Amino acid sequence: MHPLTGTSLVRLHPLKMRRDSSGWIIGRVETGTFASFPDVGRRVIDLLAQGRTIGDVAARVNAETGANVDVADFTTALGDLGFVAGIDGRPLADTGRKRPSLPWLKPRHVRWMLHPAVHAGLVVLVLSGLAVLAGRPEIMPSPGMMAWSEFGTVSLLTQVAITWSLVLLHELAHLGTARAAGVPGRITLGSRLQFLVVQTDVSGVWGEEKRVRMSAYLAGMALDAAIMAAGFLMLAVVPPRGGLHTTLSIVVLTQIDGLSFQCLVFMRTDLYFVAQDLAGCRNLYGDGVAYARFLIGRLANRGGANPLAHFPPRERSAVRLYAVLLVLGTAACLAVVATLMIPALAAIAVPAVRTLVNGGDGPAVADAVAVVAVLAGVQGLWARTWWRKHGPRVKRLLSSAAAVLVSLRPGR
């Protein structure tokens, strides 16, 4: 960043601010980068935004509060956060901004998604569907409906098509609700342990009031629940045989599975962000990982400072509880991978590969090709997204391990 002096003028990007229990939450909506500042930090930012020099801001803050603030260092920190647009007339590169998904979608198009009447309507629909299910429990689809066709490939492809369509609707609900609040939002692929997920970055809502934040976090689940409830209502009236009944059953089962996944708060699911917000934490997952590593290190008699030492009591308690959920949940998921998912995938893939290797009649080969293509495609997407996130760290670890091995070679 351009060197700062007492006469430097700083131009800031537009910043969103809201009062928080510990000070002020301030950040950029378009990048989703927010940080917590005390009152004096908020005052420094206000004065810089007014076009005052760094020296003038320092003198003004000192006169108002008695605090001696190093405004140059403070401005450098703002630059690291991506809040500074330019210094002394020289623009700074804006590397934090990413192209939003569906940029043509404007807040005026989706403002209705934040209207209380819409939320009330969704609640009524969900309660109606659950009431019908309670009165007629026989409409609950059996999991066996997933294998509705005598051809396994047809059932598999049907499930994939329905699942990805519903996942897209789920993410569009997040995106639309965030966009209604003026937050860009971005839909991407991601990974959560063994799960391939589609995710929408709505971190820009952190500067909004709690009602808007909760609406953005819960929009996907609300739509999932509404679709499930509508499915129950329709299953109560459609004939119990036929393609419509089968399709509705698959949709309902898929939505139940999706809502269940969101309850896995030890991963960054929708309910995780709700829990993080309600707990008043800035990065519950990251802090939970750091605290879990600290505890493991202490058990191994390794030193290190407690990462929660300077946290407020409420946030410290929340992170401790979350660290327990994180460790137990991760262990359970990895156990499911080893004992259920890998054997299940092998049971599906091995016969298909055997058919391709040994040959067979036309339908059998076509079925095997489709099964292998679907499984390889999904697992390939997961591997690609996982490597994009964790690859640099793996490379660093491998480089460190190689350096250690080289240093241990005889003759060195």
Mean pLDDT split into 10-residue runs, the chain, 412 residues: 81 92 88 91 93 92 89 91 90 83 94 96 97 95 80 80 94 96 91 85 92 96 97 93 89 92 91 92 90 86 82 89 92 84 79 82 82 85 85 82 70 54
Task: Compute φ and ψ for 360, nearest 5 degrees.
Answer: 175, -175
Give me the residue label for tokens 């040994």. Answer: 358
Task: Name the DSSP letter for residue 9.
Answer: B
Residue 146 belongs to what H/E stretch? none
Task: Name the DSSP letter for residue 145.
Answer: G
pLDDT given for residue 412 in this prediction: 52
Give me the residue label for tokens 């209604």. Answer: 180
Q: What tokens does 124 get?
A: 């009524």
Inter-residue contact 373 to 343 (CB < 8 Å): no
- DSSP letter for each residue of 81-126: TT-EEEETTEEPP--S--PPSSTT--HHHHGGGG-HHHHHHHHHHH
Q: What tokens does 96 get?
A: 């934090």
pTM for the model stands at 0.86
Inter-residue contact 220 to 171 (CB < 8 Å): yes
Which of 187, 214, 179 minimizes the C-alpha distance to 109? 179
Q: Is the dihedral of CA 271, 313, 317, 305 positive or negative?
A: positive
Task: Compute φ and ψ for 186, nearest 5 degrees.
Answer: -150, 125
pLDDT given for residue 411 in this prediction: 57
pLDDT given for residue 353 in this prediction: 85
Domains with residue ranges and CATH for the chain: 10-91 (3.90.930), 99-265 (no CATH)
Burial label for 308, CB within 10 Å (0-12, 13-18, 19+), is: buried
pLDDT given for residue 50 in this prediction: 92
Which of 227, 272, 220 minimizes the C-alpha distance to 253? 227
Question: CA 400 to CA 411: how far, in whole Å?
Answer: 20
With b for 16 or more beta-carbon neighbours within 10 A and e for fewer, the 339-375 pattern comes to eeeeeeeeebbeebeebeeeeeeeeeeebbebbbebb
Inter-residue contact 185 to 200 (CB < 8 Å): yes
Which of 282, 337, 275 minimizes the C-alpha distance to 311? 282
pLDDT given for residue 40 in this prediction: 93
pLDDT given for residue 319 in this prediction: 93
Pinpoint the alpha helices (H) of 200-281: 210-235, 243-262, 270-279
